Amino acid sequence: MFASVLIANRGEIACRIARTARRLKMRIIAVYSDADKDALHVRLADEAYPIGPAPARESYLVIDRLVEVARKASAQCVHPGYGFLSENADFAEACVRAGIVFVGPPPEAIRAMGRKDRAKALIAKAGVPVVPGYHGERQEAAFLKAQAVETGYPVLIKAVAGGGGKGMRRVEKAAEFDAALEGAQREATSSFGDARVLIEKYIETPRHIEMQIFADAQGNTIHLNERDCSLQRRHQKVIEEGPAPGMTAALRAEMGAAAVRAAKAVGYAGAGTVEFIADGASGLRSGAYWFMEMNTRLQVEHPVTEAITGLDLVEWQFRIAAGEKLPLAQSEVPLDGHAVEARIYAEDPARGFLPSTGKLVALEFSTDLRIDTGVEVGGEISPYYDPLIAKMIAHAPTRAEALAKLADGLERTIIAGPRTNVAFLAALCRAEGFRKGKFDTGFIDRNIVVLAPKDIDRAAAARGAAHLAAQDMARIATSLDRAADEPASPWDAADAFQLAGARTLKVPILVDGESAIAEIGYGAGGLAVVVDGAAPALDARVVEAADGVHVVRRGRQTVVRRVDFVAHDFGHADGDGLVTAPMHGKVVAIFVASGDKVAKGQRVAIIEAMKMEHTLTAPCAGNVTEIVVAAGAQVAEGARVMTIEPAEKVD
């Protein structure tokens, strides 16, 4: 076994690898960008080295710098984690040239599977079915558009390099193809440095089934059962589970054998995942699945496999990289119970899952579930990296029990600061269709209105307003030198008074940034607060912050603030003609110029945050009167991008 490891990654996966390395008594070497100098993965290491500025291209993706640090620290091996350089053959080769073991497959295998077009051709020769489409070298826009027509709409445009939904677009008709291709290529270049794409037929009711495989250098290859990753949003996995609902032992053996053939076709060694797309219209069945891609690394959802097998996959990676044989034969692989993993992200489901940034004011998880995280209270969720906060994994004897356990754990989670998808995940776990196993990759989109309601949580808002009102009364009592236990009096208010009956004030507040009114009554029983008819929720946790309170209820966060009449922009309260940045990010494109006429809903700009692109559209028809940012500029959430004079005002 190795004596030391450099973990060429950050966040949750770096912490996860460090946990196994610590148990194996390895010296742990971390790297960090300027944005991560105080990160948890840095403090978990025995030693850590800076590698550059916050942007990944200037730090975590700089091969020479990482290899230099590995040499300097005398690391015997490098573990790439997932993302960043984990599937970069050049990085694997650079490690080997430096005399450092790369904990992963051979560079040749990474190259063979890293290009989706070439991988599909190779896999087809091995007798594994592949999705119909164009997987060739030609990249002219007109040619690709013609291939989409030949394949038949709807189609998927997919980056030939990388994964995780980056550089991927679903296209329903030819009129949408050009803009989708442009976006996919731009995102692929940003994420992987490779703009090339392929075209695939979109399966209408797809199930995403992946087989975890392992191979050693002695030629032995096995699979460790499957995971179902069909619950997706924007082609990114949201909840993963194993075993797959509806999977039979015979079909598992069949798909597992196909995955093993795929791995052997490229001389694979180490951990990998062979991903299949299955037609879920009539349930999982033989002959209705196709090879999609192979990830030549550890997967985000690997804890699902660890839970149902009782194995430590990171330890297996280290042992195979050290030259050891596979610890088990295929017939010895366990399958115990059911496991489900939820990815907790810093994003706002009510606003189209826009990434959210900022300081973690509170962070508490259930102690009876497995939690993999790379952040802690007081840490920052930055706009530079993937917005994953944590992974929550539930394991139980049955699927129903695992889902109930996960939903309960999510609803007891306390996260305040950045917006999160915790309540959305809990709702997903409790969704009837998902619980009954009636789902595919479009399940979230079809049920988004129920899963991610846009209306405010009025009871949580009332709880926050009551807390702020109590703070105000306490502050008044202090200013009047009243004894701490003396009840508040309505005569203390400085705004007006009434001579009889209960005193009621209508106080303007901001709830999740939107204007609202809290009705505050002062009676014999103390404060009585309602917001839009709702009384304060009793099942909520209030977390105080500098500019208000965060009320967390069943995993959902509601931010309640006093109105700052100086800072609040009532002139643009309706958003009429104002285009603002929905989150912190980089402006990658501006499509209009000052003086241009635009239609309502027209694409006017694109902002990139956390490796994902977000399109800004015109809120009304009119003339562009001012553009205050340029392509390449960094913008803060809420910052003005441009102003459009509405058509009715122009006329």
d(CA 50, CA 67): 13
DSSP per residue, 263-302:
HHHTT--EEEEEEEEEEGGG-S-TT-EEEEEEE-S--TTH
Q: Is 297 a catalytic residue?
A: yes
**Position of tokens 């044989």?**
325
d(CA 150, CA 229): 29
Q: Which amino acid is at 86?
A: S
Element of type H or E holding 380: strand 380-381
d(CA 469, CA 518): 10
Buried b (16+ CB within 10 A) or exposed e, 600-635: eeeebbbbbbbbbbbebebbbbbbbeebebeeebeb
**Residue 80 CB contacts under 8 Å (≥ 6 apart), including other chains:** 8, 9, 86, 88, 91, 102, 103, 104, 297
- What burial class does residue 292 get, using C-beta atoms within 10 Å of its C-beta: 0-12 exposed, 13-18 middle, 19+ buried? buried
HSE-CB of 119 using CA atoms within 13 angstroms: 31
Asked if residues 551 and 463 have their Cβ atoms less than 8 Å apart, the reply is: yes
d(CA 220, CA 328): 10
Asked if residues 465 and 531 have their Cβ atoms less than 8 Å apart, the reply is: yes
Alpha helices (H) in 383-457, listed in sequence order:
399-411, 422-430, 432-435, 443-446, 448-451
d(CA 221, CA 214): 6
- What burial class does residue 278 get, using C-beta atoms within 10 Å of its C-beta: 0-12 exposed, 13-18 middle, 19+ buried? buried
Q: Which residues are bridge partners to 509 per DSSP?
A: 516, 562
CB neighbours (10 Å) of residue 391?
23
Can you say whether the dihedral through the CA atoms of 116, 122, 124, 129 is positive or negative? Answer: negative
Nearest one of 220, 227, 225 to 320, comparing CA atoms: 220
Residue 130 Cα distances to 148, 583, 607, angstroms: 17, 38, 34
d(CA 535, CA 523): 15
Q: Please state whether 270 falls in left (phi above 0), alpha (psi between -120 and 50) or beta.
A: left
**Residue 564 CB contacts under 8 Å (≥ 6 apart), including other chains:** none
Say which of 27, 297, 561, 562 is annotated catalytic. 297
Q: What's the alpha-carbon Rg for the chain, to the nearest Å?
A: 27
**Residue 274 CB contacts under 8 Å (≥ 6 apart), including other chains:** 210, 211, 213, 258, 259, 262, 263, 291, 294
Nearest one of 273, 268, 343 to 112, comparing CA atoms: 268
- Three-state DSSP class for residue 483: coil
The residues annotated as belonging to the active site are: 297
